[in-house]
Amino acid sequence: MRARAREAENFDVPGAEVLPINNEIVLPDEPVSPIEPIRHSPLFSLGGIRGAIADSLMATSGFIRERMTGDFAVDDYGFDPHFAETVWFPAIRQLYSKWFRVEVTGIENLPAEGAALLVANHAGTIPIDGLIASVAVRDNHPNQRYLRALAADMVFETPVIGDLARRIGATLACHDDAEALLRQGELTAVWPEGFKGIGKLYKDRYKLQRFGRGGFVTTAIRTQAPIIPVSIVGSEEIYPMIADLKPLARALGLPYFPITPLFPWLGPLGVIPLPAKWHIHFGRPIETSSYDPAAADDPMVVFDLTDHVREEIQQTLFRMLSRRGSVYLG
């Protein structure tokens, strides 16, 4: 596995064009209160795999016992905190801490309470970044807050996955749901690049795609919620997409059909993500309270603020990449 990781780290593909760094963006030199020291993945060992499976099975059995009592609540969007805490988070933490060894900085930029709209770069062929960001917030925030993700229609149209997404706190990426969550004081997250971000080729890694029409800015201004830029390094390398079979994607009704160094050549094994080392940075809040709510309908205001958020994330990504060590063995 280590040999495969070293090979994957040196694809014969040129890197993305790097723009000058904006010196006004502050990025700490050291991580802010990580849960545990950064280390090589113990899942490379048989003992690590056994431990991960045992932890997940214990969490699931505890969930079944407690579920039988009927003492749990589900909100209007289908979010089931009991399921998330006893089944989902224990399982995904294995991937978070032992496979991707996630490092988190800037957690102090998230509000202790009340609403904020987190805006992040999107990558990885499969949108694992949303799941990992949710764990990063839940496990690092002093008040252990939940992150409510806004997901694409396709997620909720997919059997099983749609129901699971609702249970773990996701909802439809539309103005109504986003505005309602923010008015309820939730930490809400959006990935404006959409499929253009997660479906881009490896040669375009860490180059942000267009941020749509700025709908997230409109929602933030209307609710007076601060915007938190989120920069994620590591997601681009878990499934390096070297080609996209567009004709096959169209035939299957998919936004893209990825070809990676391992998929589809290794069959089901090719779906296992490469163990890239992740770093998630939560940037300083961009306040929207100074805007009149009517500014949400001004295209120039929306465009300027959308571009500002995008540039903040892009420049922070470049700065994080300049300090990065090994992609897979860090």
Whole-model pTM: value is 0.81
Residue 285 vs residues 57, 114, 226, 228: alpha-carbon distances, Å? 39, 13, 6, 5
Q: Taking residues 91-98, report their average pLDDT.
A: 92
Q: Taking residues 190-197, report their average pLDDT.
A: 92
Q: Tens digit of pLDDT for each residue in 218-249?
A: 999 999 999 999 999 999 999 999 999 999 99
- Is 315 a residue whose pLDDT tops 70? yes
Q: Residue 231 burial by CB count (10 A; 0-12/13-18/19+): exposed, middle or buried?
A: buried
- Cα dihedral: 88, 91, 97, 103 (round 10): -20
Q: Tens digit of pLDDT for each residue in 132-191?
A: 999 999 999 999 999 999 998 888 988 899 999 999 999 999 999 999 999 999 999 999
**pLDDT at res. 153:** 87
- Is 65 a residue whose pLDDT tops 90? no
Residue 136 main-chain phi, psi, to 5 deg: -60, -40
A 10 A CB-CB count for 302 gives 20
The tokens of 59 are what?
């969490």
- Is 287 a residue whose pLDDT tops 90? yes
Q: Are 150 and 188 in contact (CB under 8 A)?
A: yes
Q: Tens digit of pLDDT for each residue in 249-264?
A: 999 899 989 999 999 9
**pLDDT at res. 35:** 40
**pLDDT at res. 170:** 93
- Is 320 a residue whose pLDDT tops 90? yes
Spatial CA neighbour of 177 closest among 76, 101, 278: 76
- Is 293 a residue whose pLDDT tops 50? yes
Q: How far apart are CA 218 and CA 176, in angstroms?
A: 11
pLDDT band at 268 (very low <50, low <70, confident <90, very high): confident
**pLDDT at res. 13:** 43
- Is 40 a residue whose pLDDT tops 70? no
**pLDDT at res. 75:** 84
pLDDT band at 61 (very low <50, low <70, confident <90, very high): low
Q: How far apart are the first and last CA of the chain?
A: 15
* Residues counted in the chain: 330
Q: Tens digit of pLDDT for each residue in 9-39?
A: 444 444 444 344 444 555 555 444 444 444 4
**pLDDT at res. 214:** 83
Question: What is the average pLDDT score of the chain?
Answer: 84
Q: Show the DSSP H helices in 141-172 as ranges.
A: 153-157, 161-167
Q: Show the DSSP H helices in 141-210 as ranges.
A: 153-157, 161-167, 175-183, 195-198
Residue 271 vs residues 55, 226, 258: alpha-carbon distances, Å? 22, 37, 11
Percent residues over pLDDT 70 in the chain: 78
The tokens of 106 are what?
């800037």
**pLDDT at res. 11:** 43
264 preceded by a cis bond (ω within 30 of 0): yes
